[in-house]
Structure 1
């Protein structure tokens, strides 16, 4: 906060924040803290799950006002994903402070991209208060340009091994903004953290990532959401259990319910699901296909296992992984196909690191 406040004095500020934007052990929200210090906050831009982090995945976020402070809130999740010139006209600086989890399809970094673009187009400075990456690995396929979407905007691996600050520098440096524009960028670095050091999140980053273990499994389990297999939404162990209403998937059972604060309309709601309990499973320490391959083999459905094949490809970042699974290739064979790309990525990534070991 000591570094941040002088940058914001006598400036009109827009925040890109959510419930993870806390600045003290007491959990004080950044918005409240800045207002108490006399900083002029003109508006808040809200990402997926909303400013308070209580909206379901994919649920449209609406414009409004913060119930506590009365500050206007503008949604960046739904039809409007990028701040407009009009929305940027009455601010001098945009401040981004959101906790990421290091997975390419976690949409906070897509919101950051569009905010960077808006700042570049409207000659505004962007300040990023950086935070550690709790799933700090480089693994998985590189995104193919033809499959770009809001769940994958950058040509990076599924697990990309950067903080949001480092990724923002990469977006600038590699010319990934529209028209290869550059965003005026200032990173407030994390203290006392280097790549490879574990980091336990003090606040769950979204409604269904409730603990460190779920975060470690998230990248490997999220692609199931393009299948008929539940990842445990509607239970108290989302992204730690897998199953569907068919006994062929396993002896462990769970029943998704409508749970406020988790998921109000989960897949297989009120149906008994059979599958795997991963709550005590070892962290994959990266990305694994073992669970997708295991459930695919048990399904007997062939290519029909992927109920939303385009969505699966967008999450994975390519079309080859799905095809190779249906061809019966092993995890080792599939992963071998992206190792050369990862080697090239690591070399490029090195230019933007702020927290090298």
Structure 2
């Protein structure tokens, strides 16, 4: 209230000044020999002065209001990994395993340092690194088999959780006192880092090893949308009955896994979450490091929940270009309707993209704005403009991504987006009630 009153005080003072000037000018006119001319000049100058005063007042009001911002926007978001004072005492004297990838960093004045390097410099005894899909350094293709090995920089042994094992074996955890989990997620059910989280929690619960989870913001954490997975469609692309966009951070999701008894034999994993500071689910957050090879920027992350469904079709979603998940196309889409063209080629993160070296017809979406929802309009449009609909769906894979076999049938039957999304609402509302119990942030 005090800040808001400042512009009003300034306006009042300047109006009083204007009144004094007018009074002086009236006296000057009264005793002037050039009464008529003076009246005209005073009138002209008074109008000009009044306009200038109004401009000045408006300028001051704008300057003052520029400083009135929500409190959470005035403070820097501090990720869990940066809060060393909260977790280094918990790691002291322990043999530590770390689940990490290229996003597992501590930010500093020089940019950032990888978490593993930082902890080693602090004297933390790291015995083993566990790597998710795309590998420890984040260079493997989506779905690509990742082998065990050694990190060239630290010579630490790396156990792949996206190769012959998706879940750590008991021998992988032997000798460990505690496991740290620190991976940047994007809040989409078929983005497999939350499946890795489940598997690691389950393995740690079975071995009676506690976990520390370093939380990070969810760039799609401001909304919940999409079909809810049906348990019969459970896979590594979706392990739990949640909507496609769940609106939770890794830390919140870990609490839900425990709280909803989703681990085998109703086991509970002992977890400690190091929460993000100065963060709410409505805080805008731009990822400084791509979370996987084919999510290069904020736009791709924003469109990923919608365009990710193309992974279960024969449509290319920008892989093999520099605009992954910002365009889509295929050789068999109607070239009259789909006038945008591009040719996917092998590149970083996509060694064998769909329709490699073939001219694809589709849409360029890099300038689309889609905030707070996922959409089916592009999947529906692509299907409707497919010249050979028998080539469109990879049914088993599409069902895994959608979490339900109904969505494909709804699209084939010609239901509108609004009609389809209406069928999601019951599941979304039920999930929101469950989600509420595990939220760490507003």
Shorter-chain TM-score bucket reads over 0.9
1:159 aligns to 2:242 (yes or no): no
Distance 1:268 1:47 in 2: 27
Say which is worse superposed, 107-116 or 221-230, in terms of deviation: 221-230
1:213 aligns to 2:213 (yes or no): no
1:128 aligns to 2:216 (yes or no): no
Select 1:9's aligned residue among 73, 78, 92: 92
Q: Match of 1:287?
A: 374
Distance 1:176 1:150 in 2: 14
Q: Match of 1:67?
A: 152
Q: Match of 2:52?
A: none
Select 1:266's aligned residue among 353, 368, 382: 353
Deviations 1:272-305 (A, max 9, x none): 1111000101125221111000001001444x24
Distance 1:180 1:187 in 2: 20
RMSD: 1.0
Distance 2:163 2:138 in 1: 15
Q: Match of 1:252?
A: 340
Question: Aligned-pair distance for 1:128?
Answer: 0.3
More helix by share: 2
Q: Match of 2:321?
A: 235
Question: Aligned-pair distance for 1:194?
Answer: 0.5
Q: Match of 2:26?
A: none
Gaps of at least 5 residues in structure 2 are 1-83
Query: 1:49-64 maps to which residues of 2 (within 5 A)?
Result: 49-64=134-149
Distance 2:416 2:391 in 1: 17
Question: Aligned-pair distance for 1:228?
Answer: 1.6
Deviations 1:26-58 (A, max 9, x none): 220000000001000000000000000011111
Distance 2:159 2:350 in 1: 23
Report if the CA contact (8 A) 1:243-1:249 is conserved: no
Report if the CA contact (8 A) 2:386-2:392 is conserved: no
TM-score normalised to the size of structure 1? 0.97
Larger relative contact order, structure 1 or 2 (CA cutoff 8 Å, min sep 6): 1
Deviations 1:77-119 (A, max 9, x none): 0220111111111100000000000000000110010000001
Deviations 1:234-291 (A, max 9, x none): 10001001111242551111111111x2311111111111110001011252211110
TM-score normalised to the size of structure 2? 0.79
SS in 2 for 1:203: coil
Q: Match of 2:311?
A: 225
Gaps of at least 5 residues in structure 1 are none
Report if the CA contact (8 A) 1:48-1:77 is conserved: yes
Report if the CA contact (8 A) 1:17-1:96 is conserved: yes
Select 2:277's aligned residue among 180, 184, 191: 191
Distance 2:235 2:184 in 1: 21
Select 1:297's aligned residue among 384, 388, 395: 384
Question: Aligned-pair distance for 1:195?
Answer: 1.1
Distance 1:249 1:12 in 2: 60
Distance 1:81 1:249 in 2: 42
Distance 1:320 1:65 in 2: 44
SS in 1 for 2:316: coil
Select 1:202's aligned residue among 279, 285, 288: 288
Number of aligned residues: 354
Distance 1:286 1:170 in 2: 23
CA pair 298-180 structure 1, distance change in 2 beyond 3 A: same
- Runs of 4+ aligned structure 1 residues displaced above 6 Å come to none
Q: Match of 1:336?
A: 422
Question: Aligned-pair distance for 1:13?
Answer: 0.2
Report if the CA contact (8 A) 2:142-2:349 is conserved: no
Report if the CA contact (8 A) 1:138-1:286 is conserved: yes
Greater Rg, structure 1 or structure 2?
2
Distance 2:287 2:146 in 1: 24
Q: Match of 2:435?
A: 349
Deviations 1:207-228 (A, max 9, x none): 0000011001001011112212
Q: Match of 1:314?
A: 400
